[in-house]
Structure 1
Amino acid sequence: MRLRDADGATVHLAYCTNVHAAEDFDGVLSQLDRFAVPVRERLGADVLGLGLWLAAPVARALAEQPELRGRLRRELSARGLETVTLNGFPYQAFQAPVVKHDVYLPDWTDPRRLRYTLDLALVLAELLPDDAARGSISTLPLAWREPWDRRRFGAAKAQLDELAAGLARGERPIRVALEPEPGCVVESTDQAVAALSAVASEHLGVCVDLAHLACGWEDPVDAVAKLKAAGVAVVKVQVSQALEVEDPDAARQVLAAYAEPRFLHQTRSSADERFDDLPQALASDAPGPWRIHFHAPLHAAALDPLRTSSTVLREGLAALLTNSDCDHFEVETYTWDVLPPSARPTDDAGLAEGIAAELAFARDQFAALGVS
């Protein structure tokens, strides 16, 4: 959806399609009709923005075949859909039965990651609406933190330098954003500033994921101010929220329902006790409060005695809209299929309804901040 700020500038709000298990071109087209069009119709929107996730084989096919790129653009337009941003974090198989650490592979030391991201940039350049100011691609924050050393950082830096050079040669302005995440080489705002200062380029910046920011117990106002002071562009924002619990001992049974096998659910206490997955936290005696990297639907109240990091979501959006130039916002709740059964959609219509409700909630949040 296209919104307008107080100065009349366009702000793009999309939902991320990495919630759908599409691994080939036909799968991408199918998800448009199964989910994106019903979401647009439920919202009453003339045009719906999609943060497309294209698995590496699809991105390669599109990059190699101009006629296929043209077809995808036409298929989007015919359905009242548009794309200004791609999610280039997962490489492929993001909805496999078990993902966990595989989502960080290949990392930025591997030439496959560079090739994939350049493929995405080529594809996005053709998908961008003619009047779009620029495109954006979010990517992983270099790598999982282990193993990591100076040599691996040098390899990653060389590839990011090559990426920046490739983006500079592109036909449309496209920026790539490192997305800090708990447990990764770059997980905090300070680490993002340090990493991007080493590969300074107008084509590279940061993607602020508000659930990740919450899990790091970072103050969103301070985080946005740090990025601005360092001259780091906020290229994209993931509009998301984490689970939060004040007293883990009183909530272990409820929390156990979120300890599912597909994704990592990094857990952090306010006292900086760190667990790479929720089962490890549940086996500990770490006191609360905790925040858990489980993207909870934006509009839905979490199951008592849990809550969500909604305060970080609201304060983060306000800070980003007033203290950054970011105009690409993407609702990224990829966890619908692994929610506890009582909260999980049971069919395509239920998922479309949930995504539409999230986007309506986000649209209301923006309207309250003067962006509508």
Structure 2
Amino acid sequence: MRFRHPDGTAVHLGYCSNVHQAEDLDGVLAQLATHAEPVRERLGVDRLGIGLWLARDVVRQLVAEPGELRRLRDELAARGLETVTLNAFPYAGFHREVVKKDVYLPDWADEARLSHTLDCARVLTALLPDDAERGSVSTLPLAWRTPWPADRADTARRALDRLTAGLAAIESETGRRVRVGFEPEPGCVVETTAQAVRELRGLDPERLGVCLDACHLAVQFEEPGAALRRLAEAGLPVVKLQASCAIEATDPSAPAARTALRRLAEPRFLHQTRTAAVQEVQEAQEAQETQAVQEVWEASEVRGVDDLPDALDGGLPTDTGPWRVHFHAPLHADPEPPLRTTADQLSRVLAGLLGGASADCDHIEVETYTWSVLPEPPTDLPGGIAAELAWARARLTGLGLKEEHQ
């Protein structure tokens, strides 16, 4: 799906295929037939964006076998699908029975991460629509925070210099530009926009920037306006927005809330959980005191644990403020009461990026990869994804963007 911002920028909206399980090319092609094309048909559009997650073995095959790469491009076109972005954060095995912290391996101190990311960029240049201005690839925020000694941090920084050079070489060879966005995530070396500025400032903004995940932003209790200003002032472009919602328990001590949270504490994915005292923030927001909101947010103490079961077993206080959980919740649907989502936070991120005179991001990817681990997984996954995209479409058109049709 494409939209036109009032400034003339083409804004691409799609969904991420990491919600589907496939570790080989045949599996990826089957996803397009059984999920992506039905999503497009449910939306009643003639063109749907899909942000592909391609496991490492698939990427290797596509780089080595140009005929297979053409087959993927042809299949996308035949089903009314287009790809302007790849999710290169998970490396492989994203739907194993237990993933947890393995999703952060290999990290940016490992040569394999650089090689994989550049290969993803090469693949993407062949998949980009002819009229797309550029492509994007999202990746992990350097590494999980421990262990991260100085020598590994130095190795990673040198890898980013090589990444910049590699992307420039790919553009020279293909005529197509691809930017890489590092995705701040709770628990990682870069988990907040302030840390993104600290670790990534000074990189080439034509090649590298941030992939902003709205769920992660909410879990860290970052105020969207202040976060976006911080990135802009540091010269870090938002290469891509992951349109996602976290789970919030307003009163985590309530028995009903704890029961609902227990049902989300599943074994596959890591569900980092944070708490902060936000009453003063809410009061400032209600009074529309923008400066006060920023000051209170920045002064508030965010406390957290690495997984939801740790929080439920006493790792987080229940009397200091709400809990927010890194559990990507469907954008359009309410979770089990009394839980709620941070959809209002996502709406504010969209407004901050696209509600002004200029478009500050042109790739938006709905990334709810957790459908299969919901307490009640959907019987109609294409219908659920289509409903999420319809939710996002309504927010974009409400900001003044015009949907385009072929």
Same structural fold, with TM-score higher than 0.5 when normalized by the shorter chain: yes
Alignment partner, residue 298 of structure 1: 331
Alignment partner, residue 256 of structure 1: 262
Alpha-carbon contact 2:215-2:244 (below 8 Å) kept: yes
> 322-331 vs 175-184, which deviates more?
322-331
RMSD over aligned CA atoms reads 1.1
Alignment partner, residue 266 of structure 1: 272
User: What SS is found at the alignment partner of 1:334?
Assistant: coil
1:205-244 map, 5 Å: 205-244=209-248
The structure with more radius of gyration = 2
Alignment partner, residue 193 of structure 1: 197
| Paired residue total | 367
Residues 1:111 and 2:144 aligned together: no
Alignment partner, residue 314 of structure 1: 347
Alpha-carbon contact 1:215-1:291 (below 8 Å) kept: yes
**Structure 2: how far apart are the matches of 1:175 and 1:60?**
20
Alpha-carbon distance, 1:324 to partner: 5.4
1:103-182 map, 5 Å: 103-170=103-170, 171=174, 172-182=176-186
Q: Deviations over 1:191-222 (max 9, x none)?
A: 11121125445200000000000001000011
Residues 1:335 and 2:335 aligned together: no
Q: Which runs of 5+ in 1 are unaligned?
A: none
Alpha-carbon contact 1:298-1:358 (below 8 Å) kept: yes
Q: Deviations over 1:301-354 (max 9, x none)?
A: 12111011122111111001136521000000000000012xx113xxx00000
User: What SS is found at the alignment partner of 2:328?
Assistant: coil
Alpha-carbon contact 1:164-1:201 (below 8 Å) kept: no
Q: 2:381 aligns with which of 326, 330, 351?
A: 351
TM-score by length of 2: 0.89
**Structure 2: how far apart are the matches of 1:16 and 1:84?**
11
Alignment partner, residue 86 of structure 1: 86
Alignment partner, residue 44 of structure 1: 44
**Structure 2: how far apart are the matches of 1:3 and 1:201?**
24
User: What SS is found at the alignment partner of 1:169?
Assistant: helix
Q: Which runs of 5+ in 2 are unaligned?
A: 278-301
Counterpart residue type for residue 349 of structure 2: G
Residues 1:204 and 2:208 aligned together: yes
Q: Deviations over 1:109-140 (max 9, x none)?
A: 11111111011000000000010000000000
**Structure 2: how far apart are the matches of 1:89 and 1:273?**
25
Alpha-carbon contact 2:47-2:80 (below 8 Å) kept: yes
User: What SS is found at the alignment partner of 2:83?
Assistant: strand
Alpha-carbon contact 1:107-1:143 (below 8 Å) kept: yes
User: What SS is found at the alignment partner of 2:245?
Assistant: coil
**Structure 1: how far apart are the matches of 2:73 and 2:83?**
9
**Structure 1: how far apart are the matches of 2:205 and 2:115?**
19
Q: Deviations over 1:3-48 (max 9, x none)?
A: 1112332100000000001100000000000000000000011100
TM-score by length of 1: 0.97
**Structure 1: how far apart are the matches of 2:155 and 2:19?**
31
**Structure 1: how far apart are the matches of 2:343 and 2:76?**
32
Q: Percent identity, aligned pairs only?
A: 60
**Structure 2: how far apart are the matches of 1:260 and 1:63?**
36
Runs of 4+ in structure 1 off by over 6 angstroms are: none
**Structure 1: how far apart are the matches of 2:206 and 2:197?**
14
Residues 1:23 and 2:9 aligned together: no
Alpha-carbon contact 1:228-1:324 (below 8 Å) kept: no
Q: Deviations over 1:261-317 (max 9, x none)?
A: 000000000142211000010011512301000000000012111011122111111
Alpha-carbon contact 1:87-1:137 (below 8 Å) kept: yes
Alignment partner, residue 184 of structure 1: 188
Alpha-carbon contact 1:224-1:324 (below 8 Å) kept: no
**Structure 2: how far apart are the matches of 1:156 and 1:198?**
15
Alpha-carbon contact 1:182-1:215 (below 8 Å) kept: yes
